[in-house]
A and B are shown apart, each in its own frame.
Chain A
């Protein structure tokens, strides 16, 4: 995108757009750095075939790692809120579902598996897949906190019947969030079309061309993004006709 200055011979080309602030990125990576040890240590306690790793001194250490990571994991959104409350609330709002998501769901197989660019309607700053990831992680954080804290301090204090429910929900949250994490990891690292995702989370900027394609509503605004998409579909239909 080029911008020319009136009455002057200069023009300015935009290549990189700021997408993630420092706090957003730091939060993301600290979240990753705590989520992974939590998942691994949790799974050692969860799967019977990993039993030998959970025993004795090793087991005590694993539980300790789980708790240390859990404290950081739990405090992170609170610290984020203290430093950039507006940004955090904006992010939460951006994760909420809207009409665009239905379009994404319909177009996802053709787009992600077959690479048909015209199949995907324009998306905002976060597409439906990213929203699902964000919402799953937020809900999981809440569930882990509500179940984990009593599991840590509540033995003998809360009734065993309640404790058993906590374990079940802790497990379910783990299953869902780890599966989500695996998919997220794949799309962030391995999928050819998603290359700018990791760049933006590391450096805070995304390429303008990438945003034009993948987050057209965020880039062009809702009206123009739809116009561009209609044109793209017409073009693809014509090509297909031949």
Chain B
């Protein structure tokens, strides 16, 4: 089964998510900060990354995502952004100066079923 990297500085979220994913049969590795996440990614080569935005600083997750996009080894790994940032409002696409590529976006608190569905979609999209 696929290997998923869960990145979040909140140990409760990491444990909860790990339990959900492991019950489904996924292999789980974890990291607690942006720096740690990139190191783990390069070593473990996960099939998908669940990425929190706010860790050691607000845009930590976004910086990770940007670095992944610039690294040939990592740019094709699907990224699902998980966050509690509010005020998110979808608007017509305009590439702004802060363009950050992610595959999916999910708000906390997460619905386990929806998370698993999104993960499946993202993995299938990659394989396909």
Report A's interface with B, CB cutoff 8 A: 1-6, 8-18, 205, 208, 211, 217-222, 224
The total of Cβ contacts below 8 Å across the A-B interface reads 86
For B66-109 the 0/1 string (1 means CB < 8 A from A) is 00000000000000010011111111111110111111110000
Interface centre among B60, B87, B91 (most CB of A within 10 A): B87
* Contact between A11 and B93, CB atoms less than 8 A apart: yes
* Contact between B90 and A12, CB atoms less than 8 A apart: yes
Q: B56 near A: Cβ within 8 Å?
A: yes
Given the contacts A2-B99, A5-B104, A11 and B57 also touching, CB distance less than 8 Å: no
Report B's interface with A, CB cutoff 8 A: 34, 54, 56-60, 62-63, 81, 84-96, 98-105
Q: How far is the CB of B25 from chain A (nearest CB, A)?
A: 26
Given the contacts A10-B90, A17-B54, A211-B58, A221 and B63 also touching, CB distance less than 8 Å: yes
* Contact between B101 and A11, CB atoms less than 8 A apart: no
Q: Which residue of B lies closest to A1 (CB)?
A: B98
Bound-state Cα–Cα, A92 to B5, Å: 30
- Residues from chain B with Cβ under 8 Å of A218 in the complex: 57-58
Q: Which residue of A lies closest to B94 (CB)?
A: A11
Bound-state Cα–Cα, A221 to B101, Å: 19
Given the contacts A11-B94, A12-B90, A5 and B102 also touching, CB distance less than 8 Å: yes
* Contact between A16 and B101, CB atoms less than 8 A apart: no
